Amino acid sequence: MKTIQDINFEGKKALIRVDFNVPLDENFTVTDITRIEAAKPTIIKILEDGGAVVLMSHLGRPKGTEDKFSLKHIVDKVSEIIGVDVKFASDCVGEIAEKAASELQMGEVLLLENLRFYAEETKGDVAFAEKLSKLGDIYVNDAFGTAHRAHASTTIVAQFFSQNKCFGSLLAQEIISLKKILEEGEKPVLAILGGAKVSSKITVIENILDKVDHLIIGGGMSFTFIKAQGGKIGNSICEDDKQELALDILKQAEAKGVQIHIPVDVIAADNFSNDANTQICDINDIPDGWEGVDAGPKSREIFDAIVKKSKTILWNGPLGVFEMENFAGGTIALGNSIAEATKNGTFSLVGGGDSVAAVKQFGFADKVSYVSTGGGAMLESLEGKTLPGIEAILK
Ligand code: AMP
């Protein structure tokens, strides 16, 4: 695996695909700088080598050129974070971009306009990718968030760099962390899958059964399993058409020697709101009119014990409706257990949209081993797929 550490960038222009798809408020102020900070180590290494940096990214889902999706809005923030005055090219290909890239001096940084102002980007257009390739000597992919897309800047452009391409340090870290779970995890390996729906995670569950010793199935997903086994789930969310599949997953797990753990009790609410009345119920006996919204106290204790005896942990998806303060307790308890296990030497990876939001919101982000930056890319990796953006560099 070739990374930026294997290359001396002195006198070279690096064309880096970063993920600067950051949230902006109505005044175009960046409200979460995580993604810009995540790209910093790669940019700094290249500058310190004596190279120059051309940054390319998408922002949002523009239909053609739309000012509100212009990357010019983030130039100041990127400059502040990198500590270098970043130049801006008001186009990502063609004369303007080529002139700006050719005038760029070593030690300087150029940010190109939003790639998705061109439909060719998401179509993976080869001619467009070739135009991008003119803007640098070495192609660096540092965007895990888009590595599952065969877009021009994430995948197709790599073919124009023959040997002159590599992974940035962020993408390399993502690959190494996933490998620690999927290939070389120290046993016992535990996966915790939560969230709303079984259907969105079936392929992950099936793939992960070959890799783990324990699997915790929590959150809204668990009720499909409970109902399939004959439990009474009241008004809890459930995918009735996935009950057969749930039973099949339990059978597969048994055959593979994987221990599955589903909550034994829940916090049930009499409606889906933070100020609902609540009671603690056996998960198999939730009264009509009540729905399970969080893991109960016994479940939290059981999960705590499993987490603490695991040496490798993957966490994807919350254990309850964590967006509502009163139903966040199970997710917070799990975060605390994982933080403690991590302190004692366990490797822990948190990935997938909502669990990442949860670890950030509750302050666990620096208490786990690694927080992934890619939602869809993470899920596809866990499904066992090879991501096109990663393959293009390895080729
Ligand atoms: P996912 O995107 O599949 O990871 O699902 C995350 C969502 O699952 C969050 O918005 C949670 O509020 C939701 N969720 C977790 N547990 C439950 C539950 N018991 N009932 C309803 N929604 C839940």
CATH number for the domain harbouring residue 136: 3.40.50.1260
pLDDT digits (tens, 9 = 90+) for 128-187: 999 999 999 999 999 999 999 999 999 999 999 999 999 999 999 999 999 999 998 999
Share of the chain above pLDDT 90, in %: 93
Asked whether residue 89 falls in the same domain as residue 206, the answer is no
Closest C-alpha to 269, from 260, 281, 257, 256: 281
How many domains in the chain? 2
Asked whether residue 164 falls in the same domain as residue 254, the answer is no
Question: Averaged over 237-265, what is the pLDDT?
Answer: 97
pLDDT score at 375: 84
* C-alpha span between 342 and 199 (Å, rounded): 30
What residue owns the CA closest to ligand 1's atom 10? Answer: 321
pLDDT digits (tens, 9 = 90+) for 322-354: 999 999 999 999 999 999 999 999 999 998 767
The answer, yes or no, to whether residue 305 has pLDDT greater than 90, is yes
Q: Is ligand 1 within 6 A of the CB of residue 321?
A: yes
Asked whether residue 193 falls in the same domain as residue 81, the answer is no
| Whether residue 188 has a cis bond before it, omega within 30° of 0 | yes
Give me 7's structure tokens: 């290359």
Distance of CA 212 to the CA centre of its chain: 20
Q: Catalytic amino acids?
A: 35, 197, 353, 376
Provide the angle, in degrees to the nearest 10, between the axes of the packed helices 34-49 and 75-82.
Answer: 60
**Residue 344 counted as domain residue:** yes
Domain coverage including residue 205: 185-382
Closest C-alpha to 1, from 134, 136, 178, 132: 178
Domain boundary among 172, 200, 223: 172
pLDDT score at 353: 67
Asked whether residue 203 falls in the same domain as residue 285, the answer is yes
Provide the angle, in degrees to the nearest 10, between the axes of the packed helices 169-182 and 34-49.
Answer: 120
pLDDT score at 47: 98
Looking from the CA of residue 218, the nearest atom of ligand 1 is 16
The answer, yes or no, to whether residue 284 has pLDDT greater than 70, is yes
* Contact between 351 and 316 (Cβ < 8 Å): yes
* C-alpha span between 136 and 104 (Å, rounded): 10
What is the C-alpha radius of gyration for the chain, rounded to an integer number of angstroms? 23
In 114-168, where does DSSP find H-type helix?
119-123, 126-133
Asked whether residue 120 falls in the same domain as residue 249, the answer is no
**Residue 117 counted as domain residue:** yes
7-11, 100-104, 367-371, 374-378, range with the lowest pLDDT: 374-378
Pocket test for ligand 1, best of 322, 354, 359, 383 (most atoms within 8 A of CB): 354
**Residue 262 counted as domain residue:** yes
Question: Averaged over 242-263, what is the pLDDT?
Answer: 97
The answer, yes or no, to whether residue 74 has pLDDT greater than 80, is yes
Give me 313's structure tokens: 């942990």
The answer, yes or no, to whether residue 46 has pLDDT greater than 90, is yes
Asked whether residue 228 falls in the same domain as residue 140, the answer is no
Asked whether residue 131 falls in the same domain as residue 257, the answer is no
Q: What is the pTM of this model?
A: 0.91
